[in-house]
Amino acid sequence: MSHAAGRQAPRQLHLNINILHSGFVPSAWRLPEADPQAFIDVGHYVRVAQIAEDCGVQALAIHGRTRAAMYRGDAEHETVRAIKQSVGIPVFANGDIDSPLRAREILAVTGCDGIMIGRAAQGRPWIFDEVNFFLRTGKLREELAREKVRDIIRAHLEDLYDFYGDETGVRVARKHLSWYFRQHHGQEALRDRLMRIETPQEQLATLLEQYDTRVCRAA
């Protein structure tokens, strides 16, 4: 739901959500929140969440920024906590969760049933395993071995080629490769080279030669 929609009168919100029930009903409703630098009408967002629950929405995922705030400033989670306390459906917190320690902190602050991770997973899809391991054991996982990172990237690329086809798959893979390598300093030349390659075979070979690995992809 957009921030503008969040400002609608309760009757209009009931109408909009009931219209959803006449067709596709989402299992989660993303509810943007107020700008941390602006006045936060907590009661309004609590009421919106309660209306959503009354209309049959099964879960809420709440990001602690407005659409207008984009990615500026810090996500605000106090309102998320107030919403969680006011409804009986699962609530998931989202925004600025980029490490296992931060995940535990947000869960403690909000009392939410779970968290959602977005940008922090770009180029680091193993963050979900790191968070789950930490929440389960209280220990941080060791940094992934290069061979494990290699295997994850290779499997990801091959899945992209299989799903999109070679031409589109190579193009889609470029942004993922950029995300994988932006966190590794000194790899700018390799990243730029991967962005210019036009075939899956060459893209994989260029990537995996960094690990001295023989490339053998099925046709």
Tell me, yes or no, whether 34 and 72 share the same domain. yes
| Cα–Cα distance measured from residue 53 to residue 83, given in angstroms and rounded to the nearest whole number | 11
pLDDT at 156 over 90: yes
Tell me, yes or no, whether 198 and 111 share the same domain. no
Q: What is the mean pLDDT of residues 149-166?
A: 95
Based on its alpha-carbon atoms, the radius of gyration of the chain, rounded to whole angstroms, reads 21
Would you say residue 61 lies in a domain?
yes
pLDDT at 37 over 50: no
Tokens for 12, please give them: 């209009």
Tell me, yes or no, whether 131 and 170 share the same domain. no
pLDDT at 127 over 90: yes
C-alpha dist (Å) from residue 179 to 7, 40, 117, 174:
35, 34, 15, 9
Residue ranges making up the domain that contains 43: 3-137
Model pLDDT for residues 164-212, shown as the tens digit of each residue: 999 999 999 999 998 888 877 777 788 788 888 999 999 999 888 877 6
Exposed, middle or buried, 24 (CB in 10 Å: 0-12/13-18/19+)?
exposed
Would you say residue 216 lies in a domain?
no
Tell me, yes or no, whether 154 and 53 share the same domain. no
pTM: 0.76
Q: How many domains does the chain have?
A: 2
Whichever domain contains 156, its CATH number is: 1.10.1200
